[in-house]
């Protein structure tokens, strides 16, 4: 499945603002198929684990607090060139720098509360997808 799937989360700010439906519509319109989806909540331990790669960055503590502050939607998405195309669809990390029409430009509140996550490589898409979903081979 390398190259064909990516992993996303709709983050607490976007869930709180009732933007799950609008964001999923954007994702579908861009040609992504939802292979698995879960509405759930991270506690601080699991958010810390998910973002462990950012442990040394100054915003890590705040990020863990934010990502465990409310429910999220986790999903595995399928499309050719999924990782790169999804990063294009969501836009830059900082919504002030995200291209017009991207999900972060439309829905993000701040560089931290930036509406959605998108994997940055095929390898991380598998690691992150496995964090929330078992039996990935079925996809
Ligand atoms: P990405 O989500 O665009 O891949 P990363 O650099 O991987 O961005 O950072 C992970 C998450 O950490 C971001 O989506 C955002 O929520 C948060 N973050 C990144 N940079 C900052 C920052 O400078 N201040 C506060 N939060 C940040
Ligand atoms: Mg990242």
Give the domain ranges of the chain.
5-138
SS3 of the chain: helix, strand, coil, percent, to 5 = 45, 15, 35
pLDDT at 138: 57
pLDDT at 1: 46
Our measurement of the distance from residue 127's CA atom to the centroid of its chain's CA atoms, rounded to an integer in Å, reads 13
Please list the ranges in the chain whose pLDDT falls under 50: 1
pLDDT at 11: 98
In DSSP terms, which residues pair with 34 in a beta bridge? Answer: 77
pTM: 0.96
> Measuring from atom 27 of ligand 1, which residue has the nearest CA?
112
Catalytic (active site) residue 54: no
pLDDT at 15: 98
pLDDT at 49: 98
Say which of 104, 117, 128, 133 is annotated catalytic: 117
Question: Are 5 and 139 contacting, i.e. CB atoms less than 8 angstroms apart?
Answer: yes
Q: What is the CATH number of domain 5-138?
A: 3.30.70.141
Cα 53 to ligand 2 centroid, rounded to whole Å = 9
């Amino acid at each position: 499945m390398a190259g064909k799937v990516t992993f996303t989360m709709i983050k607490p700010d976007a869930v709180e603002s009732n933007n799950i439906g609008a964001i999923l519509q954007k994702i579908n319109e861009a040609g992504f198929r939802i292979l698995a989806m879960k509405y759930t909540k991270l506690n601080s331990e699991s958010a810390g684990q998910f973002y462990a790669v950012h442990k040394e960055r100054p915003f890590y503590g705040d990020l863990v607090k934010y990502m465990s502050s409310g429910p999220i939607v986790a999903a595995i998405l399928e499309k050719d060139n999924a990782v790169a195309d999804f990063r294009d669809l969501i836009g830059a990390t900082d919504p002030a720098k995200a291209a017009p029409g991207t999900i972060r430009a439309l829905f993000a509140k701040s560089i931290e509360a930036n509406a959605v996550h998108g994997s940055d490589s095929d390898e991380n898409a598998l690691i992150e997808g496995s964090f929330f979903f078992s039996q990935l081979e079925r996809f």
